[in-house]
Structure 1
Amino acid sequence: MRTLRRLVLPVLAICAALVSRSAASAAPVPEKPEVHLAAAGVGFPYLPFIIADSRGYFKKAGLDVEIGVFSGGAKALQAMMGGSADIVAGAYSNTITMAAKGQKLVSFVTLASCPGWVFGVTRASHGKVKTYADLKGMRIGVSSPGSSFHMGANYLLNKAGVKPGDVSIIGVGSSAGAIAAARSGQIDALMSNDPVATVLQGSGDLFPLAVMRDPAATRATLGGDYPEASVYTTRDFAAKYPKTVQAVTNAILEAERWMAQATPEQVAAAVPAQYALADKDVFVRAYANMQNCISRDGLMTDAAAHTVHDVLAAFDPEIGKASIDLKATYDNHFVENADKP
């Protein structure tokens, strides 16, 4: 027995060391454990970071994440550029628009690989509008002028020959305000996402012209994959705190893997009350409609980056004229280096 113990114990020690080393490489100790995350909102495309927080994945990765929710991507971006936030959960398109201004931002993990948008006609104008071209002279509701909703609507209209000056763009918000505007007849069409789209379709107040709730439908509508939401930061922050960025990535990916196998009811139960956009029944139905948009692997592709660029260029011609290295606006190596299940 002594001989056996002498032979076995060194082997066990080596195995323990290898496991420890593997765990250390998969779960790096963050250089900056306290991280301030600015969120563009708490809509469904942003659920992975909410789940990462509520299910303890950030803490498991050695992070204490303080989440600040802003009323739109522009304000979340402003918070990071002003130094009050380290990272942003927002539209990937912001990295491209800022690159056109000479600012170096980098997306390091994708949250949603399609936008989940529904562009439809309201009850008030349903009988008058059959195609995008019929929207000339009408009122289009978006979350806010200049938002990704506005850009998406503009792209679809532009493809049909409807120019920006041919319609009136009205900011209606992305929750209760959008529902009220659609039902009261203040707008003729609306670019929205869930749960607003699910609520309005269910009540007969929205009739879709385009639905982008899964990757295939998004490709058919926009001509390619359109990663709506990601977590991004400045290139300087990623270079200075690579282990912190890796830890954030690990936590987000663990949330995405959990969401991929969870039921809509389980996801709804995991969302804290302060982040719930609807009651549980509506949440479950709405999430079931768009859950295929949640990224499964956190990766960005060059083709997807080009689709976002094309949509932006249709909205802002200056983007099309600018010399932008799209490959510099995202970095997949944090996802590729993450711990695997």
Structure 2
Amino acid sequence: MKLKHAVALCAAMTLACASAAAVAKDVPEKAELHIAAASTGITYLPMLVAKQRGYFKDEGLDVTIAAFSGGSKTLEALLGGSSDMVAGAYSNTITMATKGQHLVVVAAQVICPGWIFGVSQKHGSDVKSPKDLKGLRIGVSAPGSSTHMAVNYILHKAGLQPSDVSIIGVGQAAGAVAAVRAGQIDALIVNDPSATILTKDGSLRPLENMRTADGNVKVFGSDYPESSVFATREFIDKNPKTVQAVANAIVRAEKWIAGATPQQVADNVPPQFLGDNKALYAEAFTNSRRCIAQNGEITAQGARTVHEVLAAFDPAVASAKIDLATTYDNRFVRKAAEVQP
């Protein structure tokens, strides 16, 4: 009996030690994590849902999300050291590569950008297409942001130069809505829920709809991945368990969103990012739903599309030798997908 008891005790201790080792192995190197967000619109939902539903916390992370007015501001925060990671546009990894900065996407939040590009009521009758935008004031999230790049590409296709318009940074949330309604800008590129708010009341008439498959093909030639989570290569190499924990939470959120109703989604957004009208938010989610990624991966085709768009109007991108395979790393989300329910 004593021998059996000793064997059982030893087995139990071995199992406990193995379990403890497994837990320890998964502990993030950096538990307190700061993410700079270029937007808190619906194309950033996986991050917001992961925060609200406690998925980051389940991974041993205490995540603080700092909302900025656009991608250029988040890059300043990342490279300045006040943020660890960025929730921003995949295109930033390409443009920053031309400046010698190695940024890498570890989780895609969307397969398409979910933007509406439209004109204000004042110009609803005289602007029929992007070629009529010359001389007008165009609102983007921030100068140098992904929305600015998209506008430059739309202008390029219309035969216009960036200097043919005035670019004004207005954010993607309440500031953008107010700027259109106050007549401070003549056109705007914006994601949901602001896009639905402005088109629903007639404040903005769409010229391009980058929420639909056909709309993305019309503008970019195919779906254009935008919102993602990225960090410097140095941070990823130093903190692989932390990055894996982030990927686990993002992919888990994407899988939850894929099976949720619009109302359930609206109920699971942090209140400070929701707005005053939950029903309108649910409607906006429905409008942009197809853009939300379900497995967190950047595809090779998506990466090529973004590069081709940027190279069309940016000589620095066109002339640079960039290995696109180094601008994203799908290993983390693929591993995350293996363990998700």
TM-score (ref. length: structure 1): 0.88
CA contact (8 A) 1:58 1:251 kept: yes
**Aligned partners of 1:185 and 1:39: how far apart in 2?**
27
Q: What is the RMSD computed on CA atoms of the aligned residues?
A: 2.6
Aligned to 1:291: 289
Q: Residue 199 of structure 1 aligns to which amino acid in structure 2?
A: I
**Contact between 1:110 and 1:230, CA under 8 Å: does it hold in 2?**
yes
The alignment covers a number of residue pairs equal to 330
Q: Secondary structure at the match of 1:284?
A: helix
Q: Which amino acid aligns with 1:40?
A: A
| Among 317, 320, 329, the residue aligned to 1:319 | 317
Aligned equivalent of 1:211: 209
Q: Retained in 2: the 8 A contact 1:79–1:85? A: yes
Question: 1:66 matched to which residue of 2?
Answer: 64
Q: TM-score, normalised by structure 2?
A: 0.88
Match status 1:38 vs 2:26:
no
Residue 201 (str. 1) matches residue 208 (str. 2): no
Q: Is the 8 A contact 2:69 2:141 kept in 1?
A: no
Equivalent position to 1:303, from 284, 301, 304: 301
Q: 2:326 aligns with which of 325, 328, 336?
A: 328
How far off its partner does 1:216 sit?
A: 4.6
Partner in structure 2 of residue 159 of structure 1: 157
Contact 1:106–1:234 under 8 Å retained in 2 = yes
Flag the 1:319–1:194 CA change in 2: closer, same or farther, 3 A: same
Given that 2:258 and 2:294 are in contact with CA atoms closer than 8 Å, whether structure 1 keeps it comes out as yes
Unaligned residue ranges in structure 2 (runs of 5+): none
Which residue of 234, 237, 252 maps to 1:236?
234
* Structure 2 partner of 1:3: none
CA offsets 1:66-88 (integer angstroms, 9 cap, x no match): 32223322222222222222211
The 3 A distance-change label for structure 1 pair 299 and 216 is farther
Residues 210 and 221, structure 1, Cα contact 8 Å, conserved in 2: yes
| Paired-residue identity, % | 56
Secondary structure class of the residue paired with 1:112: coil
Deviation at 1:143, TM superposition (A): 2.3
Cα gap change, 1:94 to 1:194, in 2 (>3 Å): same
Contact 1:121 1:206 in 2 (8 A): yes
Q: Deviations over 1:305-340 (max 9, x none)?
A: 122122222342212111211111100011111224
1:122 aligns with 2:127: no
CA distance in 2, matches of 1:310, 1:274: 36
Q: Distance in 2 between matches of 1:41 and 1:129?
A: 28
How many Å separate the matches in 2 of 1:285 and 1:85? Answer: 32
- Following superposition of structure 1 onto structure 2, how do residues 130-145 of structure 1 map, counting pairs within 5 Å? 130-145=128-143
Unaligned segments of structure 1, at least 5 residues: 1-5
2:134 maps to amino acid: K
TM-superposed CA distance for 1:192, in Å, is 1.4
3-state DSSP class of the match of 2:34?
A: strand
2:71 and 2:142 in contact (8 A); partners too: no
Does the 8 A contact of 1:31 with 1:244 survive in 2?
Answer: yes
Once the 2 structures are TM-superposed, how far is the Cα of residue 140 of structure 1 from its aligned partner?
A: 2.1
Residue from 111, 114, 119 that aligns with 1:113: 111
